[in-house]
Amino acid sequence: MKTDKKIIIIIISTLAVGLLLGWLIFGGSESEATDEHQHETEVAGETTWTCSMHPQIRQNESGDCPICGMDLIPLEDEQDSDIDPTAISMSATAMQLASVSTATVGAIDPVKSVRLNGKVQSDERMIYSQSSHIPGRVERLEVNFTGEFVEKGQVIASVYSPDLVTAQEELFEAQKIKESQPQLFSSAKEKLKNWKLSNGQIEQILQSGAAMETFNVLADVSGYVTKKMVNPGDYIRRGEAIYEIADLSKVWVLFDVYESDVPWVNKGDKVEFTIASLPGESFTGTISFLDPVIDPKTRVAKARVEVTNRGLKLKPEMFVSGTVEAKLPNQANAVVVPKTAVMWTGKRSVVYVKNTTDQGVNFMMRNVTLGPALGESFIVEDGLQEGEEIAVHGTFSIDAAAQLAGKPSMMSPEGGSVPTGHNHGEMDMETETAADEPMPVEPVKTDPAFKEQLTNVYENYLKMKNAFVESEAHQVMIAAQDVEKSLKKVDMGLLKGDAHMAWMEQLKTLESTVSTISKLMDIEKQRTEFAQFNLSFYKSLKMFGLSNTTAYFQYCPMAIEDKGAYWFSETEEIRNPYFGDMMLGCGENRETLK
């Protein structure tokens, strides 16, 4: 038994020693191999760092973005095998850093907001010509200046009339024989009545027995004198106007309706309008008449709103800004998306549709067909369905990520090679776009005089842009007024055909936005209008050109609450007008206009 126990102990000890040696030899090697493999993986897969706002930036080390100065973040691999290979995956962190937000597409009854500018004018039906019914010489004027109010029956002038003296002498002679010749006496009085003498005046003449040499002219209506047409000593004919008198208890507001907006404005539409000289007050009226003829020079039609002028607050020639909410015919339950959701090149319009899977969130590019613009939104004729979720902000970041990943993007619908670097803030214009990228414009032959006038507008624009850089709201207002004046001096008659129509369409936005800037004292609100001005100004400069001037078209993706915005500069140096000293160097050159 003792021998058996010794054998068992020896066998167990041998097995234990063998297991220990095997673990030391093979287990240690496997662990070491595993560690070595992991180390090799980390070395082979060095972290690539990028910028959430400028994903074209790729560096092997962390740090700050060379464009905007933001902290770089690790570049995340997109290796989700279960999603569409053309989709762009984004983590929640990446979406937050890139300010990507989404919204569900809905169907509504579209309403187009049409902005109108106009002036207060006198009601033509309440303008009267005050004439003298007596021929002669003006001896005295009781109303000596325009703007004075006169009451009906008030003496407004005195006239010396030899013809009236002769008529009085005839009346006296007829009075002597009125018993035998009553008809002659009646005829003599009627002659005086034809000169607008009242029965009381005629009886006064008969009682005095002496001819009056001067007679008073009485006001036929009450109102304000808007024109004085004679001076003392002037000779006037019977029926000749001496004053123009306007009753301002009712006035007209005449709005300019541009040719492109005529289809949306109709008689009976309600207009809400404000007047710059009456801040804080708003008015409402109805279009009572729409001019059937377009002015051949200005290319606008007049829309008339009749207003009761309580307290005579509305004075002729006041500037008015109004809005018409026009319902589009045959467009009930249309699919409508914000303009910020759409990216376009002029030929193609795309949106990014959000999809959620088990692997996370991804975005797919979708071509859409756009219908009419509705202020800050578009009608989508084809390509989207009600209930789909799309990106409405941050679309530039999504599209840039698609380009960098070599996937289909707006400028490369079939996809392409992956970019490998960045040249210190200057991107290739062939592969670059933005959420509110201005549509490509073809240059046209332009009259040199028109180009000179447009260059003058650009020179005034630079003063306004530099005031934005300094963040001086008051200086911005003053510079905007100079831009507005230079726009009004541009002779649109120098353009013909389609060029004329294109300028009129651009001018509408240019005048509207710069006029708003000139009336605001809030620098951020001014910058919002400035961003819209630049999109139209780009079309104008691109189409018509400048004289002996180079303009640099620049862009900042973080401006206007991360929506992105453009501006023009006289130099390549970035001086951001949307942030001033806060982020003066944030931006990049997009295009050079020579």
pLDDT tens profile 442-483: 677 778 888 899 999 999 999 999 999 988 888 999 999 999
Kindly state whether residues 491 and 467 are assigned to the same domain: yes
| Three-point CA angle 176, 180, 186, nearest 5° | 70
Q: In the predicted model, is pLDDT for residue 184 greater than 90?
A: no
Predicted pLDDT at 24: 42
Parallel/antiparallel/unpaired status of strands 127-131 and 319-327: unpaired
Q: In the predicted model, is pLDDT for residue 590 greater than 60?
A: yes
Crossing angle (nearest 10°) for helices 497-517 and 473-488: 150
Q: In the predicted model, is pLDDT for residue 6 greater than 60?
A: no
Token pair for residue 559?
Answer: 């401006």
Kindly state whether residues 570 and 460 are assigned to the same domain: yes
The predicted-structure confidence for 541-574, as pLDDT tens digits, reads as follows 888 888 888 999 999 888 888 788 999 999 999 9
CATH number of the domain enclosing 199: 2.40.50.100
C-alpha 25/C-alpha 19 separation (Å) is: 10
Predicted pLDDT at 99: 80
Kindly state whether residues 93 and 219 are assigned to the same domain: no
- Of the spans 176-185, 283-292, 493-502, which averages the highest pLDDT? 283-292
Q: In the predicted model, is pLDDT for residue 23 greater than 60?
A: no
Kindly state whether residues 338 and 292 are assigned to the same domain: no
Residue 455 included in any domain: yes
Question: How many other CB atoms are found less than 10 A from the CB of residue 504?
Answer: 17
Q: 51-60, 322-331, 340-349: which range is least confident on average?
A: 51-60
Kindly state whether residues 417 and 395 are assigned to the same domain: yes
Residue 350 included in any domain: yes
Handedness of CA 78, 79, 83, 85 (dihedral sign): positive
Please tell me the pTM assigned to this model.
Answer: 0.47
Residue 440 included in any domain: no
Total domains present in the chain = 5
Residue 145 included in any domain: yes
C-alpha 189/C-alpha 174 separation (Å) is: 9
Residue 73 included in any domain: no
Residue 495 included in any domain: yes
Predicted pLDDT at 52: 62
Mean pLDDT confidence for 80-105: 76
pLDDT band of 81, cuts 50, 70, 90: very low
Domain end, chosen from 327, 358, 379, is at 327
Coil, strand or helix: which one is 144?
coil
Coil, strand or helix: which one is 251?
strand
pLDDT band of 83, cuts 50, 70, 90: low
Kindly state whether residues 98 and 202 are assigned to the same domain: no
Domain end, chosen from 403, 431, 459, is at 431
Instruction: Specify whether the CB–CB gap between 403 and 416 falls below 8 A.
Output: yes
Kindly state whether residues 225 and 339 are assigned to the same domain: no
Kindly state whether residues 283 and 214 are assigned to the same domain: no
Token pair for residue 431?
Answer: 């592969």
CATH number of the domain enclosing 311: 2.40.30.170
Q: 36-40, 392-396, 403-407, 457-461: which range is least confident on average?
A: 36-40
197 or 363, higher pLDDT = 363
Kindly state whether residues 456 and 588 are assigned to the same domain: yes
Tell me the average pLDDT of the chain. 80
Predicted pLDDT at 44: 43
Kindly state whether residues 478 and 571 are assigned to the same domain: yes
Instruction: Determine what percent of the chain is predicted with pLDDT higher than 90.
Output: 23
Q: In the predicted model, is pLDDT for residue 10 greater than 60?
A: no
C-alpha 400/C-alpha 352 separation (Å) is: 12
pLDDT band of 76, cuts 50, 70, 90: low
Domain end, chosen from 327, 345, 375, is at 327
Q: Which residues of 358-449 form beta strands (DSSP E)? A: 360-373, 377-382, 389-393
For the chain, the residue count is 594
Kindly state whether residues 343 and 357 are assigned to the same domain: yes
The predicted-structure confidence for 327-341, as pLDDT tens digits, reads as follows 766 666 788 888 888
What's CA 134's distance to the chain center, in Å? 56
Kindly state whether residues 501 and 404 are assigned to the same domain: no
Mean pLDDT confidence for 202-217: 81
Residue 54 included in any domain: no
Residue 76 included in any domain: no
Q: Which domain holds residue 263?
A: 116-123+248-327
